[in-house]
Amino acid sequence: MSKKVIVIDDSQTVRQQVGLALTQAGFQVVEAVDGKEGLTTIQNTKDAAMAICDVNMPRMNGLEMLEALAQAGSKLPVLMLTTEGQPQLIERAKKSGAKGWIVKPFKAELLVAAVKKLTAA
């Protein structure tokens, strides 16, 4: 059975891009449009293997979502995929339990390799 990845980004084009890369690599994809919806989707998708999350989004950003997940005791691996490359933000994500960071734009092979590594357990 294919592993399920939750993709959280306010851009439909980015969700489509990530979704295509992952489905072609054999993963199943569930989408959410911002941190708030991402949080609910993660909590309701018990069989998810991991999540990929943007940082700058309306309503709730990706770092706030990570912090809410950490507070709720979630162990779901989260990979941040964002235009941000600021070291302080990367450190904040790391402290909140993120498992990786990719600065957009991304190469599909690199993203798929990271997802395979983070879902290997």
Partner 1 sequence: MNETLIAVLGSTLEAAASGLFEHLGVNALITEQLDPVKHDIACSVGFASPTLRGSLTLTAEQNFVSACRPLEVRSGEADAADISDWMGELGNQLLGRFKNRLISHGVIVELGTPAVLYGFQIQRHSGRLPLACVRQVRSESGTLMIYIDAHATPDFQMLEPDSDNQAMPEGELALF
| Interface of this chain with partner 1, residues 42 to 81, rule: CB under 8 A | 56-58
CB of 5 to partner 1, least distance (A): 16
Answer for which of 45, 92, 94, 112 binds partner 1 (CB under 8 A) is 94
Answer for which of 25, 70, 102, 112 binds partner 1 (CB under 8 A) is 102
Contact 30, 6 (CB under 8 A): yes
Enumerate the H helices of 52-119 as residue ranges: 62-71, 87-95, 108-118
Contact 39, 59 (CB under 8 A): no
Q: Does 12 help bind partner 1 (rule: CB under 8 A)?
A: yes
Q: How many residues bind partner 1 (CB under 8 A)?
A: 38
* Residue with the two structure tokens 């309701």: 44
Window contacting partner 1 (CB under 8 A); options: 39-47, 62-70, 109-117: 109-117
Nearest-10 Cα torsion for 30, 39, 49, 96: 140
Angle, CA 61 vertex, CA 58 and CA 62 arms, to 5°: 140
CB of 45 to partner 1, least distance (A): 23
> Which residues form the interface with partner 1 (CB under 8 A)?
10-14, 16-17, 20-21, 56-58, 82-88, 90, 94, 98-108, 110-111, 113-114, 117-118
